[in-house]
Amino acid sequence: MTAGVRRARGWLTGRPWLTDLALGGGLTTFDVVTLSARTPTPSAAGLALWGLQTVPLFWRRRRPRLVLTAMTVAFAIFEVADPVPGKTPGPYFLIFGVFALARRTSARGSLAWVLPSLAVAVATDALSGRSGPPRLDSLEPTTATAFVAYFLVAWLLGYGARRIDLDARRLRDLNDRLRAQQEINARQAVVTERARIARDLHDVVAHHVSAIAVQARSTEEVLQDDPRLGRRGVARIAETADTALVEMRRILGLLAAGPEDAGPEPSLRHVDRLIEAAEAAGCRVTAALDPSTDALPAAIQVSAYRILQEALTNVFRHAGPVGVRVAVRLGDGGLTIEVENGPAAADHRSVPGSGRGLLGIRERVTAFDGTLHAGPRPHGGWRVHAALPLQGVR
């Protein structure tokens, strides 16, 4: 199909009244002009009755029942009046009305109108003496067999076209619903990704900024008494700030370029960074890390790392430079993460936070259907115990 034909077809599809005009008006005009060329020329009444049989096709889309009824009545009047001797339209005009009705109404509804029209047409043709006896081996237009065959074919074509239209409409509806669902899923994915990035950014900023705050206070206390130790503390602050910037760039890279360009995700292989940051802040860290955790899936490693990070951040904020015990164990029940710290010094000033730290830990634990216990220890300090089952994790 050429581009010109496609454009013309699309133009006509958007203007259905032109098709009705071409069918109703064109068919009527052609038949009247052709009939006028007969010798002898039919009377004006004969031409009018002939043309009236196709004029109703103008309204075949909007009033298909009325159109078939009007065409049947016009056919019956023409047959009885016999204005053009030796000339009969047979079923050729009526099949257009049958097709239009079958295409635009249900099968049961269309048959309720088509069968009476067929009965009227056959009876009129027979009573007028034009129709011969029914013959199964003949489709002459003046036999009842021809009327039945033509009506049946026209109805089947109309019914098939209706089914195609309904299926196409159903597919369009499904496609629209699918497109809408895809848009919803895309928006939800964006919201979920933003929440994940915000959570990771919070973990990074809170952890490193809290460590910098603790280190800065410790450095301030020793700077005058021991400048060399103070300079070491300042260097630690600079290192922590650099690490924070690197991780922030990696996370913000997710927004700019996508995950594939953002660098490797943190994992339990990088726990030493958290321990070094805690020790740089003055904490005395005792770590018991299970080396077999290196083989865990990346998803659970990232979550475990962030849980440890947030738990240590809370130590920096609320306890300061205290003794900390970190344990990461892999057992039959899954992965266990535990962080305990001693009580804060009497003169310690807590670093204010956003309140999202513990909530972030709980969200990460819940994502794996795990359990979380976080609260004060009996003899002072704080304890965070998270258990992440591994069933179904890949």
pLDDT at residue 387, as a whole number: 92
Distance (Å) of CA 254 to CA 242, 274, 298, 300, 356: 19, 22, 17, 19, 21
Q: Which helix (H) or strand (E) holds 326?
A: strand 323-331
Residue 97: count of CB within 10 angstroms of its CB: 29
Distance (Å) of CA 251 to CA 86, 194, 195: 90, 11, 12
pLDDT at residue 260, as a whole number: 46
Instruction: Identify the three-state secondary structure at position 129.
Output: coil
Nearest residue to 297 (alpha-carbon basis) of 251, 335, 262: 335
Nearest residue to 267 (alpha-carbon basis) of 306, 209, 241, 315: 306
In which residue are the tokens 């048959």 written?
111
The predicted model gives 10-31 an average pLDDT of 60
Q: If you average pLDDT over each of 23-27, 117-121, 132-136, which comes out highest? A: 117-121
Under 8 Å between Cβ of 328 and 294? no
Q: Which residue type is seen at 305? A: Y
pLDDT tens-digit map of 62-91: 888 988 888 888 888 888 877 776 666 777
Q: How confident is the model at residue 371 (pLDDT cuts 50, 70, 90)?
A: very high
- With a CB cutoff of 8 Å and minimum separation 6, the contacts of 146 are 90, 91, 138, 139, 140
- With a CB cutoff of 8 Å and minimum separation 6, the contacts of 107 are 159
Q: CB-side exposure of 328: number of CA atoms within 13 Å?
A: 25
Nearest residue to 16 (alpha-carbon basis) of 85, 62, 51, 70: 62
pLDDT at residue 11, as a whole number: 45
- CATH of the domain spanning 198-388, picked from 3.40.50.150, 3.30.565.10, 2.60.120.260, 3.40.50.300: 3.30.565.10
Q: Is residue 154 pLDDT above 80, yes or no?
A: yes
Q: How confident is the model at residue 286 (pLDDT cuts 50, 70, 90)?
A: very high
pLDDT at residue 89, as a whole number: 72
Residue 169: count of CB within 10 angstroms of its CB: 10
Mean pLDDT of the chain: 77
Select the more confidently predicted residue: 111 or 237: 111
Spans of all domains in the chain = 3-131, 198-388
Q: In what order do the strands lie in the sheet with 382-388?
A: 284-289, 323-331, 334-341, 382-388, 371-376
Kindly state the tokens that stand for 11.
Answer: 């133009």
The predicted model gives 297-307 an average pLDDT of 84
Minimum mean pLDDT range among 69-73, 157-161, 265-269, 286-290: 265-269
The full DSSP string for 254-315 is HHHT-GGGS-PPP-GGGHHHHHHHHHHTT-EEEEEE-GGGGGS-HHHHHHHHHHHHHHHHHH
pLDDT tens-digit map of 193-218: 666 666 666 666 666 666 777 767 77
Instruction: Identify the three-state secondary structure at position 206.
Output: helix
Q: If you average pLDDT over each of 66-80, 82-96, 153-167, 220-234, which comes out highest? A: 153-167
